[in-house]
Amino acid sequence: MKKYIIIAGVPRAGKSTLTSMIVKKFGYQHICFDTINYALEQNMIEPKINTNDESLENTKYISSVISKFINSIIASGEYNEQEYGVVIDVCQLMPEDFVKNIAGDNCDIYYLVTSEVDSIKRFELLKKYDRPSDYTYYDTDEQKQKKCERIVETSKYIKEKCEEYSLKCYDTLFERENKFKEIIEDIRNN
């Protein structure tokens, strides 16, 4: 198994759920980049992180910054002597930045997207499964529709780039549990 596993992709694709499974199954430590991005957003003057802007261009900008941050965590060697591995879940990491700034023998990445539907169907599914603990639950329908448009646009972009760079990408909108089992098995075998 790889020392570092990165679970990346779009919001509401199952990154937190899969990360929890990896932690329980393999005893990996967890680094949540939503929390780190929030702290950076609140406390950094430059580079300015704005996680409320979910546009593809802003996501690319955040990716260019945090990919170097993630690489620094891995390059520090802080976790290399530990028996456990580290799983990092991150929303704003584009495939091109992973390849440019992070990829290595001790790290594997799995992208989770929802690209197999249009934004209208994505919105219907979001409303159907939204729970009070989800960050979109209290949004208006108009806000949810806009987020779904951006999620689908970003999903398609990530899927295209994963194909270009031969990275693992899973559409988790349907048959999520089976895809998670496949990923867990892949982690075990690599």
Q: State what percent of residues in the chain have pLDDT above 90.
A: 59
CA–centroid distance for 61 within its chain: 15
Phi, psi torsion values for 28, nearest 5 degrees: -70, 150
Closest C-alpha among 116, 85, 44 to residue 188: 85
* Number of Cβ atoms within 10 Å of the Cβ of 103: 17
Q: What is the pLDDT of residues 37-92, one digit of tens each?
A: 777 777 765 567 777 788 889 899 889 988 999 999 999 988 888 888 999 999 88
Q: Compare 127 and 88 and report the one with higher pLDDT.
A: 88
Mean pLDDT across 158-169: 98
Q: List CB contacts of 133: < 8 A, sequence separation 6 or more.
A: none
Query: Longest Cα pair distance anywhere in the chain, in angstroms?
Result: 49
pLDDT at position 63: 92
Phi, psi torsion values for 53, nearest 5 degrees: -90, 105
Q: State what percent of residues in the chain have pLDDT above 70.
A: 97
Mean pLDDT across 105-125: 92
Q: Is the pLDDT at 103 greater than 70, yes or no?
A: yes
Mean pLDDT across 142-168: 95
* Order of strands across the sheet that contains 4-9: 29-32, 86-90, 4-9, 107-113, 168-171
Phi, psi torsion values for 2, nearest 5 degrees: -75, 150
Quote the mean pLDDT of the chain: 90
pTM for this one? 0.91
Retrieve residue 89's tokens. 């879940």
Mean pLDDT across 16-40: 90
pLDDT at position 81: 82
For the ranges 37-51, 78-92, 106-120, 160-174, the lowest mean pLDDT is seen at 37-51
My answer on whether omega of the bond before 95 falls inside 30° of 0, hence cis, is no
Element (H, E) at 78: none
CATH class, domain 4-114+168-189, is alpha beta
pLDDT at position 45: 55
